[in-house]
Chains A and B, each alone.
Chain A
Amino acid sequence: MKIKNVLIITCILIFLVGLIGSLWLIFKSHSQKVQIIQNGEVLYIIELEKSGDETIEIKYQGSKNIIQIDNHKISVIDADCPDKTCVKMGELKSSAAPIVCLPNKLVIKFAETDDIDAEVK
């Protein structure tokens, strides 16, 4: 009788650990860590969920990009490169599509990957 009880309790424990583990993996907050990288060097790591609104100016060989964090979303709002592709890209949405400024060698991307493996463009 005692052994049976121990086994039942063991069962329940394994079940609960499994259940809690599953729920944790499914619902664990996708920490929205964003890296700002220039020419291969990580300048900033920003946790968007915790970050307040701010603007960051990044200089590169006499030119600059202005990065804005607004309501936990990050985007480049101004750049002095001719095509302004980085500004046109808008807010960073997916790990498959980093914001890139080619002339200023700037990349803004999520540190973790999401559902899509890559963006074809």
Chain B
Amino acid sequence: MKKIFPCILIAGMVFLNSCTIQSSIFVTEPKSKSFFAMDTYMTITAYGANAEIALNQAENKIAELEKLWSVTDENSEIYAINHSHGKSIQVSSETAELLDFSLNISEMTSGALDCTMYPILTEWGFTTSNYKIPTDAKINELLENTGYEKINMNGNNITVPKNMQIDMGAVGKGYTGDLIADILRENGIESALLDLGGNIQTIGIKTNGTKWKLGLRSPFDEGLFATLEVSECAVITSGGYERYFVGDDGETYWHILDPKTGKPAHSGLISVTVVGKEGRLCDALSTSIFVMGLDNAVKLWKEFNNFEMILVTDKDEIYLTESIEKNFSLNQMYENLQVEVIQR
């Protein structure tokens, strides 16, 4: 008789175990919302009682921010700045904070990020998809009217010199991620995944107690070269593969321009992923580091100590910072890539 009880116990354990294999069946179903905004496709997934309300608020907020920051919408604040002919324009606190942040990163990266490159991006056709290679003379002429340091900010009043134009493309989506994460948290959401067109921001961990598992897009092909497990952070990648064209000369030209030359940045890096607490910082730094290259990126990382990174070079090497090594794994098909860990 005594032998029966262990039997029941084991049988019961096997039964329960079979249930927990797919424990997600027993936890709250996530609420998810997908929509087109900011020239990309976004999906936000949230768990919790208020998820639906929070997601609606998030979608409305994104539409509101897009109206403020669109370069082409004639009613946007960025449009007003770009058509101010050098006059001072008063903007919302969101736009002022975004621009202020962008200018700070420009300082921090010695100008590797510059929000005044819009006219040159347009000349290359990256804003319209009518790609062409501008002449050196044309680029030099346009470079005369760039330079973040010429922007003047006095509280919410912004002055951009005549013939200059700004765009918030390199920081806007990251900043949006931060504001949306705040909205979700205010609604009591403790677990959420924001996919803003490939810019990822996570709140907490998954409801099954594990970290979020993110696939990193390979710069060599359409696959995922690695997986990264994260919680409560933003993960943002910049790569030459995102938007590019092949010129008549057979060369590939991508959309991340070096503000110093007005031409696609060739720093030796082909993909830069930045991991950190704030979406805005990750977004801005992924672009800047792509322009700065490996050595300057390492210096920046050691100096500021507020982000982690995964860099892929054009020599098939991967450099990653030491704190994320344990959460990083190369996918099988990419095991030929050489991985170096950057120590502090």
- Residues of chain A at the chain B interface (Cβ within 8 Å): 4, 7-8, 10-12, 14-15, 17-19, 21-22, 25-26, 37, 39-40, 81-83, 88-90, 93-94, 96-98, 100, 102, 105, 107, 115-121
Chain A residues contacting B36 (CB-CB under 8 Å) are: 39, 102, 105
Is B40 interfacial (CB 8 A cutoff)?
A: yes
Interface contact A100-B41, CB-CB below 8 Å: yes
Interface contact B130-A120, CB-CB below 8 Å: no
Distance in angstroms between the alpha carbons of A10 and B224 in the assembled complex: 48
Interface contact A18-B237, CB-CB below 8 Å: no
Q: How far is the CB of A87 from chain B (nearest CB, A)?
A: 11
Besides A18-B17, A19-B14, A118-B195, 12 other CB < 8 A contacts?
A8-B7, A21-B15, A25-B22, A81-B129, A93-B223, A94-B215, A96-B224, A102-B39, A107-B41, A115-B213, A118-B214, A121-B239
Q: How far is the CB of A52 from chain B (nearest CB, A)?
A: 25
Interface contact B130-A82, CB-CB below 8 Å: yes
Distance in angstroms between the alpha carbons of A97 and B216 in the assembled complex: 11
Distance in angstroms between the alpha carbons of A30 and B262 in the assembled complex: 49
Distance in angstroms between the alpha carbons of A115 and B331 in the assembled complex: 13
Interface contact B11-A94, CB-CB below 8 Å: no
Distance in angstroms between the alpha carbons of A37 and B130 in the assembled complex: 27
Chain B residues contacting A7 (CB-CB under 8 Å) are: 4, 7-8
Cβ-neighbour of A120 out of B15, B17, B216 (below 8 A): B216
Q: How far is the CB of A119 from chain B (nearest CB, A)?
A: 5
Interface contact A118-B215, CB-CB below 8 Å: yes
Interface contact A15-B200, CB-CB below 8 Å: no
Q: Indicate whether A102 sits within 8 Å of B41 (C-beta atoms), given known contacts A15-B14, A116-B213.
A: yes
Interface of A, helix, strand, loop or mixed by DSSP: mixed
Distance in angstroms between the alpha carbons of A19 and B18 in the assembled complex: 7
**Best-buried of B22, B40, B242 by chain A (most CB within 10 Å):** B22
Interface contact A18-B15, CB-CB below 8 Å: yes
List 18 interface pairs A-B (beta carbons < 8 Å), by A numbering: A8-B7, A14-B15, A18-B17, A83-B129, A93-B222, A98-B41, A105-B36, A107-B34, A107-B41, A116-B224, A117-B206, A117-B212, A118-B215, A119-B214, A120-B198, A120-B200, A120-B217, A120-B236
From 1 to 39 in chain B, residues with beta carbon under 8 angstroms from any chain A beta carbon are 1, 4, 7-8, 10-12, 14-19, 21-22, 34-36, 39
Cβ-neighbour of B21 out of A11, A25, A107 (below 8 A): A25
